[in-house]
């Protein structure tokens, strides 16, 4: 796998769910230091676009490459762990504590388990590290997701409605996370309804409508 100056390269990519075409001929090129905002109404295909880039949604057609790996090939398994994705719903295990959730990811990634607590402290959850997720508010769970991404330091950061249900401090955390990724030479794609907030972070933005990126 040769190093590529482009971190995300989509060319005429379509995604289908059965007979329904969710994304149509989407082309997007994102390089190091780029933060791309994507706006659009509900059902326009924003989340599918993020899941496509995260190698979680297979393309039906077109060329789709992330971090130099063709997502239609097995090479995607080698780059998935370099992608940070925070979706609508937290992917935390409700029976486990915040620390245990992050320690699981740290263990899976070969990181030191102590980094779990350090990352939780960075997002202001150090004091709640041993609280079960199902005893945490939605905002705390979102913060824990940011802590997870901080811990894994992804090169491509994908955020779905990153500012929703967050207080002012947590919004600053999101912005800091994006800046930190870009400073390290990574890239970010943010899909949102909150144009003002995302535009203040994005280096460029696109509209998405009926699965077509404008």
Angle at 206 between CA 144 and CA 23, to 5 degrees: 85
What phi, psi does 148 have (nearest 5°)?
-60, -45
Instruction: Give least dist CB 194 to another protein, A.
Output: 21
Site string for another protein, 1-30 (x = CB under 8 A): ------------------------------
Tokens found for residue 133? 């997720």
User: In the stretch 159-188, what mask flags binding to another protein with x, by CB under 8 A?
Assistant: -------------------------xxx--
The DSSP output letter for 184 is T
Q: Is 110 left (phi over 0), alpha (psi -120 to 50) or beta?
A: left
The three-point CA angle 109-161-134 to 5° equals 60
- Tell me the C-alpha distance between 175 and 66, whole Å: 23
Helix axes 114-122, 98-109, angle to 10 degrees: 120
Partners of residue 108 on adjacent β-strands: none
Q: Kindly tell me which of 119 and 168 has the beta carbon lying closer to another protein.
A: 119
Minimum CB–partner distance for residue 109 and another protein (Å) = 6
Minimal distance in Å, beta carbon 185 to another protein? 5
Task: Name residues contacting another protein, limited to 54-113 (CB under 8 A).
Answer: 54-56, 58, 77-78, 80-85, 87-93, 95-96, 100, 104-105, 107-111
- Contact positions vs another protein (CB under 8 A): 51, 54-56, 58, 77-78, 80-85, 87-93, 95-96, 100, 104-105, 107-111, 132, 148, 152-153, 155, 184-186
């Amino acid at each position: 796998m040769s190093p590529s100056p482009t971190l995300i390269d989509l060319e005429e990519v379509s995604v289908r769910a059965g007979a329904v075409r969710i994304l149509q001929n989407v082309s997007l090129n994102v390089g190091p230091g780029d933060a791309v905002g994507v706006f659009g109404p509900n059902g326009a295909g924003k989340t599918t676009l993020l899941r496509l880039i995260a190698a979680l949604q297979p393309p039906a057609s077109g060329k789709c490459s992330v971090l130099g790996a063709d997502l239609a090939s097995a090479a995607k398994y080698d780059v998935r762990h370099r992608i940070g994705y925070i979706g609508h719903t937290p992917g935390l295990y409700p029976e486990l504590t915040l620390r245990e959730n992050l320690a699981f990811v740290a263990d899976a990634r070969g990181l030191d388990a102590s980094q779990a607590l350090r990352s939780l402290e960075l997002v202001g959850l150090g004091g709640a590290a041993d609280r079960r997720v199902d005893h945490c508010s939605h905002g705390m769970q979102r913060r824990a997701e940011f802590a997870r991404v901080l811990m894994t330091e992804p090169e491509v950061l994908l955020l779905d409605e990153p500012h929703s249900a967050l207080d002012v401090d947590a919004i600053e955390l999101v912005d800091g996370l994006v800046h930190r990724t870009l400073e390290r030479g990574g890239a970010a794609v943010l899909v949102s309804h909150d144009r003002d907030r995302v535009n203040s972070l994005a280096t460029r933005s696109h509209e998405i409508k009926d699965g077509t990126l404008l």
